[in-house]
Amino acid sequence: EQPFRSLAAYGASKAALNLFINTLRHEMEPWGVKLEPCGVKVSTILPSSYKTGQSSNQEYWERQYKSLIHNLSAGLLEEYGEDYIHETKELFQRFAQSANEDLSPVINTISEALLSPRPLVRYYAGPGVGLMNFVYSYFPLSLSDKFLQRLFVQKKIIPRALRKENNINNININNNNNDEKIEK
């Protein structure tokens, strides 16, 4: 539900899934009324960050990185630069290593939703995800953006094409106050 840097495609896929689930909820609502007390209810469970699948497997990340470098067109590789792509891989790898291994908050939330006589439309499972939603929904955009920017990947390298365009050899983006330090 919130925009995180470097996760546009991932976020778009989750937003599409969320819209699909909400549409199902609306479509199933009339049937639920007719089938009470065992009506059909649809809920969304939004988990925080967890180690799942290959997310904490270093060899997996290295294979993905090599595959991307190998399959990326020469033009895109030139535009972004291998250093930009490498930094992104390192940031995701580091973030995945810090993700929670204990899935019990998600399992408990699923159980709560399934056993509830009146399930909620939306459940937040795990540390911080409810707070993120609150901040994003109720704070002014300038504050919620700063809050969210500090939570995920904090890139220091910009794509090579932007460095060339601005005649920049090196850039260090200080994400704490969004000031840019540029060395020419």
Q: How far is it, in rounded angstroms, from Cα 5 to Cα 147?
A: 12
Name the least confident of 49-53, 153-157, 178-182.
Answer: 178-182
* Closest by Cα among 34, 86, 49 to 77: 86
pLDDT of residue 153: 66
More confident residue, 83 or 147: 83
Which residues, in sequence order, are CB contacts of 5 under 8 Å at separation 6+? 149, 152, 153, 154, 155
From 10, 80, 123, 136, active-site residue? 10
**Residues 132-155: what's their mean pLDDT?**
82
Predicted structure pTM score = 0.69
pLDDT of residue 169: 59
Contact 79, 161 (CB under 8 A): yes
User: Does the active-site annotation cover 10?
Assistant: yes
Strand 44-47 vs strand 179-183: parallel, antiparallel, or unpaired? Answer: unpaired
